[in-house]
Amino acid sequence: MVDKLGDDERAAALAGLDGWTAVEGRDAIAKTFTFKDFNAAFGWMTRAALIAEAMNHHPEWFNVWNRVEVTLSTHDVGGLSALDIELAKRMDALAGG
């Protein structure tokens, strides 16, 4: 069972992420990824989906054309957990390579 991050853990985790921001009015983090075109965006989504399904931890995400807006939160704990931080980092790694 994963735990909700405490205030200090949360601050430290966010400081270690690149481009993710706290969502207003909700214990969640968000980032917008922009790609060259739909092909690149959906290829990235497929790779992220493979990771999310293996983690059994899924994003909320919105896509239009070359843009993907991702929001991460852990429903079971009502806020951010280590799973969100891990998925955020793995999404960043996919987008960079």
Binding site for a copy of itself (CB under 8 A): 38-40, 42-47, 49-54, 56, 58-65, 94
Choice between 11 and 34, CB closer to a copy of itself: 34
Rounded CA separation 57/62 (Å):
16
Q: How far apart are CA 9 and CA 38, in angstroms?
A: 36
CB of 94 to a copy of itself, least distance (A): 8
Smallest separation, CB 4 to a copy of itself (Å): 19
Comparison of 29 and 45: residue with beta carbon closer to a copy of itself? 45
Whose structure tokens read 């853990």?
9
Residue 28: Cβ within 10 Å count: 18
In the bound complex, what is the minimum distance in angstroms from residue 89's beta carbon to a copy of itself? 14
Helix (H, G, I), strand (E, B) or coil at 17: coil
